[in-house]
Amino acid sequence: MAGNTGKVVFLDRDGTINEEVHYLHKPEDLRLLPGVPEAIRMLKKAGFTLIVVTNQAGVARGYYTCRDVEKLHGYLNEQLKKEGGAIDAFYYCPHHPVHGIGEYKVVCRCRKPDIGMFEAAEKDFTVDKAHSYMIGDKELDVQAGRNYGVGSILVGTGYGAELKREAEEQGREPFYDYYAEDLTAAARYIIEKES
């Protein structure tokens, strides 16, 4: 077990940290969303461990490889480090239950909203669920957080704002614990709640 505090923020990647680009896999197509480096710095300073959990079915579909995903994550962290922050660990699901090729076509436990990536993170980090959160721009992110048992935050970047509007139009009860315009607003909410 790592010597972290147990306060963990799990983050979706596409639409939450970087601009949603369909099947993003090339470093040159990576664009950090506004305010993201600052949000990462704020959370680190407040003692949170930052862990990315991302579904990457593009691997299953044969659009890009695990090596591409890992290279992109290395590049993403280089960009964040230039701004004084970094992600502590990346976990990704390369599978798809229907559209996968070969070994990647599988009903796995890691694809969000299932919680296999969170459980993998627990092998490397202490996770105090009562003081940990999941942030993402899709319902499956929020659902994964709920399934795992941490606070769930929907961000308005990526698909989030549209999703919130649709849910409200349908008269649904909010399916998330908190809605934040973007990652900076989510970070402010968490820090205030935990201090």
User: In the complex, which residues of this chain contact Mg ion (CB under 5 A)?
Assistant: 12, 14-15, 137, 158
CB of 104 to Zn ion, least distance (A): 8
**Residue 14: contacted member of Mg ion, Zn ion, none (CB under 5 to 8 Å, by partner type):** Mg ion
Nearer to Mg ion, 22 or 123 (CB): 22
Pick from Mg ion, Zn ion, none: which does 182 bind, CB < 5 to 8 A by kind? none
CB 183, CB 141: distance < 8 Å: no
CA 6/CA 136 separation, integer angstroms? 20
> For binding to Zn ion (CB under 5 A), which residues are involved?
93, 95, 108, 110-111
Per 3-state DSSP, what percentage of the chain is helix, strand, and coil (rounded to 5)? Answer: 40, 15, 40
Q: Which residue's C-beta sits nearest to Mg ion? A: 15
State yes or no: is 128 an active-site residue: no
Provide the minimum distance between the beta carbon of 20 and Mg ion in the complex, in angstroms, as a whole number: 6
Rounded CA-CA distance 169/39 in Å is: 30
Q: Which residue lies nearer to Zn ion by CB, 9 or 93?
A: 93
Whether the CB-CB separation of 47 and 3 falls below 8 Å is answered with: no
- Do 83 and 41 meet the contact criterion of CB atoms below 8 Å apart? yes
Using CB distances below 5 to 8 A depending on partner kind, what does residue 167 bind out of Mg ion, Zn ion, none?
Answer: none
Q: Which does 117 bind (CB under 5 to 8 A by kind): Mg ion, Zn ion, none?
A: none
Told to judge if 14 belongs to the known catalytic residues of this protein, a careful annotator would answer: yes
Q: Kindly state the smallest distance separating residue 39's Cβ from Zn ion, in Å.
A: 27
Q: How far is it, in rounded angstroms, from Cα 71 to Cα 92? A: 13
Residue whose CB is less far from Mg ion, 131 or 164: 164
Name which of 17 and 43 has its Cβ closer to Mg ion.
17
The CB-of-94 to Mg ion minimum distance in angstroms stands at 16
Active-site residue identified among 14, 88, 114, 137: 14
The DSSP line for 15-72 is TTTB---TT---GGG--BPTTHHHHHHHHHHTT-EEEEEEE-HHHHTTSS-HHHHHHH
Residue 166 CA: distances (Å) to CA of 115, 170, 175, 186: 26, 6, 12, 21
Of the candidates 12, 88, 114, 182, the residue annotated as catalytic is: 12
Active site residues: 12, 14
